[in-house]
């Protein structure tokens, strides 16, 4: 049962899947087909710039390598593959596989 004090937390929790689900609508309806790297860039760049603006610091020492590995795996590999799948699969199938 959701009480009044849990309502903001519940709404915030529901927001993440809602935003994630828009990936398929945006990919199939708004973005040019066949450009998964561009779509991944559009998805990741605003968040990265916002994080940089908030922290105003760059990685130091060993964190450069860690940030590079995470960036390549998340931005360079996962997001383009996500957008390739979103272009090729129907939204319901993609949502089921994502769940």
User: What is residue 91's predicted lDDT score, i.e. its pLDDT?
Assistant: 72
Mean pLDDT by 10 residues, the chain (99 residues): 74 83 79 83 86 89 92 85 83 70
Q: Model pTM?
A: 0.65
d(CA 85, CA 59): 32
- CA 58 to chain centroid: 22
User: What is residue 95's predicted lDDT score, i.e. its pLDDT?
Assistant: 67
């Amino acid at each position: 049962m959701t009480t009044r004090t849990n309502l903001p937390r519940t709404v915030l929790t529901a927001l993440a899947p809602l935003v994630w689900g828009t990936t398929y609508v945006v990919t199939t309806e708004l973005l040019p087909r066949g450009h998964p790297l561009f779509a991944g860039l559009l998805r990741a760049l605003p968040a990265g710039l916002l994080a940089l603006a908030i922290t105003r610091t760059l990685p130091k020492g060993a964190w450069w390598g860690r940030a590079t590995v995470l960036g390549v795996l998340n931005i360079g590999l996962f997001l383009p593959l996500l957008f390739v799948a979103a272009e090729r699969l129907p939204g319901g199938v993609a949502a089921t596989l994502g769940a």
